[in-house]
Amino acid sequence: MGRRGKKGTVTPQEQNPSPRLKRRPKSRKRRKMKRKKKNADIEDLKKEVVMDDHKLTLEELSSKYSVDLTMGLSPEKAQEILNRDGPNVLTPPPTSPEWIKFCKQLFGGFSILLWIGAILCFVAYGIQIHVKEDVTKDNLYLGIVLAVVVIITGCFSYYQEAKSSKIMESFKNMVPQQAMVIRNGEKIQISVENVVVGDLVEVKGGDRIPADLRLISSHGCKVDNSSLTGESEPQSRSPDFTHEDPLETRNICFFSTNCVEGTARGIVIATGDSTVMGRIASLTTGLVMGKTPIATEIEHFIHLITALAIFLGVSFFGLSLGLGYGWLEAVIFLIGIIVANVPEGLLATVTVCLTLTAKRMARKNCLVKNLEAVETLGSTSTICSDKTGTLTQNRMTVAHMWFDKTIYEADTTEDQSGKTFAKGSATWFILARIAGLCNRADFKANQETVPIVKRATTGDASESALLKFIEQSYSSVKEMREKNRKVAEIPFNSTNKYQMSIHLWEEDSQTHVLMMKGAPERILDFCSTYLLNGKEYPMDEKTKSDFQDAYLELGGLGERVLGFCFLNLPPTFPKGFKFDTEEINFPMEDLCFVGLISMIDPPRAAVPDAVGKCRSAGIKVIMVTGDHPITAKAIAKGVGIISEGTETAEDMATQFKVPINSSTNPRGAEAIVVHGSDLKDMTSEQLDEILKNHTEIVFARTSPQQKLIIVEGCQRLGAIVAVTGDGVNDSPALKKADIGIAMGISGSDVSKQAADMILLDDNFASIVTGVEEGRLIFDNLKKSIAYTLTSNIPEITPFLLFIILNIPLPLGTVTILCIDLGTDMVPAISLAYESAESDIMKRVPRNPKTDNLVNHRLISMAYGQIGMIQALAGFFTYFVILAENGFRPTDLLGIRINWENQFFNDLEDSYGQQWTYEQRKVLEYTCHTAFFVSIVVVQWADLIICKTRRNSVFQQGMKNKILIFGIMEETFLAAFLSYTPGMDMALRMYPLKIAWWLCATPYSVIIFIYDEIRKLTIRHHPGGWLERETYY
């Protein structure tokens, strides 16, 4: 509970003063300025990265960092810089010390109410001691019990959170990273934290980039920037300056991203917190968190209860003064009434209910870091989801093929349960050969038992996709490659945009075949014929336009399309011929076009269904991705974020053949795809406008900062926002969101730190379970609270009537505690296991402003109606016992003064018998016990009616076994407390006659019948008066 707040209040500067800041004099004035500056810093961090190193020439770069581009820094210089800038590490998010976390648990939210209660008790006891020596210790004990309850519950929830943090810890990868630097011309391995600005660094495939680098040379270097930008595709890196935006330009590598293949050299331009990654991490720590919805609800509840307690207390304070009690007595009454309103057991109940749900969610792969976040997902009205990995499988898969002038669909499901295609065609035979042979990807060793789709591969994503596809649907690529040995190849590069390899046709044949794959338009340029059903035909315009159509169609699906062609080399190139790929000594024209294969990172199987469920649950799903708009839109359509039939403004424009931005009204379209560059120029009003007017929104090409802006925009509109993400780039948004959801498998540590919840299986569908559980627990907490609060009335009224009517006290402190902390506990918790009354995923998310956890209707029901019946049941039992023992109700009024007088030992009852003080006290305590038992009896009925808020119990059934156990448990506990020998000494509870158990049963039945009638009326008159006044 506490963690969130703490994170928000400490800014990175405060926690980890950088050397420069340290030098500042720490006067008060300065500090104020510093705070202002800090806020400015945060705003600053939200802006885009400003950097010009990528625009510099190598000479400028060399002079800027005063480093030799071949020799690197001298070790002395490096040491000097290291001393100046500090180590190259991200400052970890400030974690509050354990004891502060513990104190947060102890004094946060609900606990404070109990603490105030405890303090009031001690005050009352102090006053009593001060006034007269011989006092009952009730107030002292009550104070102690309250304190103990808070401490135990505090320890419990602290333990719970500590446990989930421990699971977090285990995620951390503690392997120390090494970096290869060149200093004084020597290559040395040093620990990453010793890398300094200006260092010449060498990276190779598999390395983690040790700092922000400006490349000076590279060899086929590709980096995976997904953790920073969210783009799943590895990007090639070279020394050329290609883009104004430092995030897009080719010559910059970023700290903590991965080098996938190739090698590169670069100059370090930033280290530690000043790297792009570091700035994002700082931005994350600098964000101020809002309260969780449930914390707000509990606060609201505390306000209600406190107002009620003070109102009751003060009115009875006045009344008791009017009745002639002394000031001190009246103050004691005041405190007593206020404390009696504190639901002692509720804190524990709420904590246990949330814990149970958190456990249940953990079993369904949602690990909740923050107990209060359990409910937040239930209140969520907007989900901003990442694309890669969450909605998609995060692996390129072949989706479509085009050959024989037909588009075939490949099987993209995770378990390969989809349909097959025309495998009989001779064209397919050739296509499969090219895809398998002209392919540098390979399976890693020792994976024979792993299903093909799950096998790890080397090589880039598209080649791996082809490899797996061929292995799956054609035959073993390994055998194929053994049979058709590769004799020469030209690897793919971004200038020629194709890949070519030459193989032997068959092992024993003498002829070679040239195979080529690459960008479709490039491939087509090479071809003069095409293959149809295994036969070559000369290329004609019709085929070209067919090709164009197919290419456009597949591209429009957001898929990456590759073209394939081949050429049977004439026998003039026999076996053993030396093919020279530098100076080409073989024909590379008039090839035969075979077909197209397109690939996509396909959506996860469960996602469309989950998105559908979200939609029917009234939750808006927004896709926020760094990917291209077309791909984003295709996936959005695939998973239903943009539903079938709705069209974006662009679609409408193309349909009506008009340019966008002119005649079509963008508001007319429900769906919209917003490009990051457009978003950059938008004012927050414009963004609000978009978020308000479109139901289906996709943000493409967004930067981490923009993700944050989107989340803030949604929150401005009053939505409770859930954000999913796995990369470091997502962490500010995760932190800012009402509930941040990180990915357990693919997620980075930073994102897991910032999140409130972790999806252990990275599956969007798990969020839906989370939403369901969250909504259920909100409903069930309502029921639990309604149940617990109800018994407050039979607990308070005895004291009130004791004051007003001067009757012997019908219910004492000990018995009240027995109810609140004993018998009521298990039944209240059992309501957390109650199943939903209706399909909770078919209603809109609750409105956090109007749909409160505890509202006046709940209080009115619990206190005004059911509680009153319960109180009458208790009083009836009380009067029965006193009357049957000789004190008739009429004789009890005003008896209090004598009854309480210890030296009045011959108090006469209605029959002329005389009672000593102790004898009538035993009778009184017997009444307390009976009143207690009566409350248990009426709470049976209360528990059953609290199972449902609208349905009849007969519709809901009694399937909740824990609840049945709860009823038994409370009954046995009550009997145990009453009948165990020695209880008269320990708790002053006395055995009851069986008949006295029955006194409350008519009232129990009345409660049940009354509530069934009420609910029946509500069901038959939806929206009627009774629903408006009593449906909580």
Choose between 178 and 898: whose C-beta lies nearer to another protein.
898
Assess 868 for contact with another protein (CB under 8 A).
Answer: yes
272 torsion bin: left (phi>0), alpha (psi -120 to 50), beta (else): left
Q: Which of residues 1009-1028 bind another protein (CB under 8 A)?
A: 1025
Closest separation between CB of residue 43 and another protein, Å?
A: 21
Burial 309-347 (b: 16+ CB within 10 A, else e): beebbeebbeebbeeebeeebbbbbbbbbbbbbbbbbbb
Q: How far is the CB of 863 from another protein (least distance, A)?
A: 11
Tokens of 667: 């508001």
Residues paired with 698 in a beta bridge: 623, 673
Interatomic CA distance for residues 748 and 725, integer angstroms: 9
What is each CA distance from 855 to 42, 861, 1029, in whole angstroms?
38, 10, 11
Q: Is the dihedral of CA 799, 800, 804, 807 positive or negative?
A: negative
Please tell me whether residue 96 binds another protein under the rule CB under 8 A. Answer: no
Decide: is 886 part of the binding site for another protein (CB under 8 A): yes
Take residue 13 and report the two structure tokens written for it: 């500067």
Q: Which of 684, 918, 1009, 1016 binds another protein (CB under 8 A)?
A: 918
The answer to the question of residue 917 lying near another protein (CB under 8 A) is: yes
3-state secondary structure at position 835: coil
**Helices (H) and strands (E) in the chain — how many of each?**
43, 28
- Choices 425-433, 640-648, 697-705, 921-929 (CB under 8 A): range interacting with another protein: 921-929
**Interface with another protein, residue 509, by CB under 8 A:** no
> Closest CB to another protein among 172 and 888?
888
Selected from 865, 951, 971, 1017, the binder of another protein by CB under 8 A is 865
Closer by beta carbon to another protein, 727 or else 794: 794
Work out whether 916 is an interface residue with another protein (CB under 8 A): yes
Does 327 bind another protein (CB under 8 A)? Our answer is: no
Greatest Cα pair distance, the chain, in angstroms, is 134
Query: 3-state class of 492 per DSSP?
Result: coil
Q: How far is the CB of 836 from another protein (least distance, A)?
A: 29
Q: Stretches 550-558, 585-593, 717-725, 911-919: which one binds another protein (CB under 8 A)?
A: 911-919
Asked if residue 905 binds another protein (CB under 8 A), the reply is yes
Which H helix or E strand runs over 24? Answer: none
Task: Tell which one of 545, 913, 955, 980 touches another protein (CB under 8 A).
Answer: 913
Q: Which of 419, 906, 981, 1020 is in the footprint of another protein by CB under 8 A? A: 906
Q: What is the closest distance, in whole angstroms, from the C-beta atom of residue 865 to another protein in the complex?
A: 7
Q: Is 898 in the site for another protein (CB under 8 A)?
A: no
Spot the catalytic one: 53, 199, 207, 386. 386
All residues at 6 or more sequence positions from 12 whose CB lies less than 8 Å from its CB, including other chains: 91, 94, 273, 282, 285, 286
532 pairs with which residues across the strands?
A: 535
The distance of closest approach from Cβ of residue 885 to another protein in the complex, given in angstroms and rounded to an integer, is 5
- The number of C-alpha atoms within 13 Å of 639 and in the hemisphere containing its C-beta is 35
CA distance 864 to 957: 27
Binder to another protein among 326, 668, 957, 1002 (CB under 8 A)? Answer: 1002
The residue (of 487 and 922) whose beta carbon lies closer to another protein is 922
CB 344 within 8 A of CB 335: no
Backbone angles phi, psi at 74, to 5 degrees: -85, 150
Q: Are 548 and 622 in contact (CB under 8 A)?
A: no
Place of tokens 């190139």: 573
Which element (helix H / strand E) includes 251? none
Question: For another protein, which is the closer residue by CB, 568 or 916?
Answer: 916
Name which position in 912, 981, 1022, 1023 contacts another protein (CB under 8 A): 912
Our finding on whether 123 is near another protein (CB under 8 A) is no
Binding to another protein (CB under 8 A) within 511-530 occurs at: none
- Residues numbered 923-962 forming contacts with another protein, rule: CB under 8 A: 923, 926
Contact string (CB under 8 A) for another protein, positions 154-193, x = contact: ----------------------------------------
Per-residue binder mask for another protein (CB under 8 A), 956-995, x = binder: -------------------------------------x--
884 counts as binding another protein under rule CB under 8 A? yes
Nearer to another protein, 606 or 868 (CB): 868
Decide if residue 872 touches another protein (CB under 8 A).
yes
Q: Does 1008 bind another protein (CB under 8 A)?
A: no
**Residue 166 contacts residue 235 (beta carbons within 8 Å):** no
Q: Does 1006 bind another protein (CB under 8 A)?
A: yes
Catalytic site includes residue 386: yes
In this complex, which beta carbon is closest to another protein, that of residue 545 or of residue 898? 898
# of chain residues touching another protein (CB under 8 A): 38
Q: Rounded CA gap, 600 and 655, in Å? A: 25
911 binds another protein (CB under 8 A): yes
From 733, 869, 987, 989, residue interacting with another protein (rule: CB under 8 A) = 869
Question: Minimum Å distance from CB 898 to another protein?
Answer: 11
Structure tokens at 426: 């001779």
How many residues belong to the chain? Answer: 1032
DSSP sequence for 718-784? T--EEEEE-SGGGHHHHHHSSEEEEETTT--HHHHHH-SEEETT--HHHHHHHHHHHHHHHHHHHHH
How far is residue 771's CA from residue 785's CA, in Å, rounded to a whole number?
A: 21
Q: Choose between 12 and 867: whose C-beta lies nearer to another protein.
A: 867
Give catalytic residues, as residue numbers: 386
**Under the rule (CB under 8 A), what is the footprint of another protein?**
864-865, 868-869, 872, 875-876, 879-880, 883-886, 888-889, 903, 905-906, 908-919, 922-923, 926, 993, 1002, 1006, 1025, 1029
